[in-house]
Structure 1
């Protein structure tokens, strides 16, 4: 029996963390041959050369596609996108996969998807149909949806949105959020183990902070970071763990400001380029709330029954639970949101919440679907036209 070659593409530490269990399931299934193509921040010394973590997990990397320039300007990002498309074209020609699996909405994913589409390789896309109005990822995600042939979405409302984009309902599968597999399957670190792993002692009040650039905002991130730091200083007894942003436009500005803040507050704060999935999820488990504008605050954090202080517009439009406290990027608004998030009333409210992103093991559901579809007949797509009454 010929084994189907499935090429999984990953360009960031967070993306790999989401794909980990699916990669494990593919690797262990006798009907599949797993191929791994890494790119973007995985290959950057500035972002920790995280491809080594993939190898430490026992995976074999089949292709390394260099595309990330040492620039986070719009010109640099656009140039990286072009380089990535060229690199993936050659990589896919060597690998000759039967299908390419991509996740999310980043420009690295866009490069891989463009190359696969032109090479007439079927594409399976995870996390389509979502909305993030504050970033260019919004347009990239929907563009990938139109190039992809199979869609694995995390809620029924996202499934409807992908169908609204013209994708046939038979190819759009609501499987839940794959990131929740890590919460169910990983043995997270105890508080002492976590503190030892980051060389930092937690206190009675602890915050995990992750802030990414809002790439469609004409105002740079400096003003927001000043407001955020001022709000954090309003809680002088809080211990703060920062995780730095991805290689988006203006990401280096935020990283530099975090370094400067931590340098002046070493007794109560620390920062990391990459915590890795195990330490990141363990951090959520042991802090009191999560602050920032990361998608993990919307999707994964509610499963821990913890509050998310969601800043600004980056995640505007995403489906969310009542554990998400939206606030403006101003110190007074952030302070009020934190105070509400740590209050007894809100903590009691959290205990009654359930995640809207599914309960079953998502990676296994995706695997079974990948087994059942006919890749050879998937390239020809017809636009699924919704009936509109005038």
Structure 2
């Protein structure tokens, strides 16, 4: 009898990262893939991105709705409650053997809580990372305690999961799964990107993603204004924005992006969601990733591209020589831009050392999902030493 593996995806971003694993599970004769979509996938304002999953030929077994059309903190809480109920109904119908989720989003937190209460074992990808600036950091560590197996991206993360009391035999350092796509897919050329996205590259080009810093109330809009003030100073530079997540205050940022793009037609482009292939292809072609997205910490260094990391949202993640940290202030950001284009920094990019492995993480995860013991797996002890 095939082992039923239920994969949760809540956005085009995490679907792009999970896709190699989804393919691995679907192609394995000993496993049965169950795919559950939720979150931003199902919202019109984010492009109804579940359709991309349909177009890729995967069967969607369930859609769990519940995300309210608001980014206020109290409405995020209400959304989590609705999602939890939806996942409970879904899991009861699908009866998965293992639930698999990636990252630290509140949508996944709702799924993991439902699975935990219903005694369904969870395999969590991306535990042990640290992002001090957002509420998601606590979600991630909470999900670690409710999960039975842990697939981490680096040695530091592996040690943190064990420090949380998890059995080292259940903590697997498989490398960064986000890097699998780079090796598996033929990326688009600059010409193809211009044609598909209806954009034009300039002498200098920046890829910009700025998400709310959810633990700093009412500051996200102000911080983003500082970034926009800095960007206005740049010459011969085209800017490609991806809009913010459906976090608290995310819509404030998105409105500011739209207004900035409207005033700067021809040099500023904004997209709800680019998808994994186009996003990675853009990283390959631009000068740097700017903002506070994890892609600047993980994927950009792989392409030997610089990252201007603004503020504390990614505080706690491993620092690589390609990352320029700066405060969310106009002058600090402009200083980082000057450093980015300096000859010493560009020379440094050519000899980067990466802490996240070299790919094939999806295959490693799939093999573990296929072979881990399911009997008596829910009861966990507390490992007191790392």
Match of 1:175 in 2: 174
Q: Is the 8 A contact 2:183 2:359 kept in 1?
A: no
Match of 1:283 in 2: 282
- 2:219 and 2:10 map into 1 onto residues whose CA distance is 25
2:220 matches 1:221: yes
Match of 2:259 in 1: 260
Match of 2:100 in 1: 101
**4+ residue stretches of structure 1 with deviation over 3 A?**
none
Match of 1:110 in 2: 109
| Alpha-carbon offset, residue 289 of structure 1 | 0.6
Secondary structure of the corresponding residue to residue 225 of structure 1:
helix
Residue deviations 1:169-226, cap 9 Å, x none?
A: 0000000000000111110001100111110110110000000000001333221122
- 1:76 and 1:47 map into 2 onto residues whose CA distance is 18
Q: Is the 8 A contact 1:159 1:172 kept in 2?
A: yes
Match of 2:123 in 1: 124
| Alpha-carbon offset, residue 320 of structure 1 | 2.1
Q: Is the 8 A contact 1:203 1:238 kept in 2?
A: yes
2:185 matches 1:156: no
Match of 2:354 in 1: 355
- 2:116 and 2:90 map into 1 onto residues whose CA distance is 13
Which shows bigger deviation, 372-381 or 200-209? Answer: 372-381
| Alpha-carbon offset, residue 360 of structure 1 | 3.7
- 2:341 and 2:257 map into 1 onto residues whose CA distance is 23
* 1:180-329 alignment, distance < 5 Å: 180-329=179-328
Q: Is the 8 A contact 2:182 2:280 kept in 1?
A: yes
Match of 1:38 in 2: 37
2:24 matches 1:25: yes
Match of 2:6 in 1: 7
| Alpha-carbon offset, residue 285 of structure 1 | 0.5
| Alpha-carbon offset, residue 354 of structure 1 | 2.6
| Alpha-carbon offset, residue 370 of structure 1 | 1.2
2:165 matches 1:166: yes
Q: Is the 8 A contact 1:113 1:144 kept in 2?
A: yes
2:51 matches 1:52: yes
- 2:66 and 2:217 map into 1 onto residues whose CA distance is 26
Give aligned pairs, total.
Answer: 386
Q: Is the 8 A contact 2:176 2:359 kept in 1?
A: no
RMSD: 0.8
- 1:3 and 1:212 map into 2 onto residues whose CA distance is 40
Secondary structure of the corresponding residue to residue 177 of structure 2:
coil
Match of 1:68 in 2: 67
- 1:13 and 1:338 map into 2 onto residues whose CA distance is 29
Secondary structure of the corresponding residue to residue 215 of structure 1:
coil
- 1:57 and 1:346 map into 2 onto residues whose CA distance is 40
Match of 2:331 in 1: 332
Residue deviations 1:288-346, cap 9 Å, x none?
A: 01100001110111000000000000000111211110000000000010111122211
| Alpha-carbon offset, residue 377 of structure 1 | 2.4
- 1:60 and 1:248 map into 2 onto residues whose CA distance is 28
Match of 1:374 in 2: 373
Which shows bigger deviation, 226-235 or 56-65? Answer: 226-235
Q: Is the 8 A contact 1:289 1:342 kept in 2?
A: no
Q: Is the 8 A contact 2:208 2:291 kept in 1?
A: yes
Secondary structure of the corresponding residue to residue 226 of structure 2:
helix
* Long gaps (5+) in structure 2: none
Residue deviations 1:49-78, cap 9 Å, x none?
A: 000011111110000000110010011100
Q: Is the 8 A contact 1:303 1:354 kept in 2?
A: no
Secondary structure of the corresponding residue to residue 142 of structure 1:
helix
Q: Is the 8 A contact 2:121 2:147 kept in 1?
A: yes
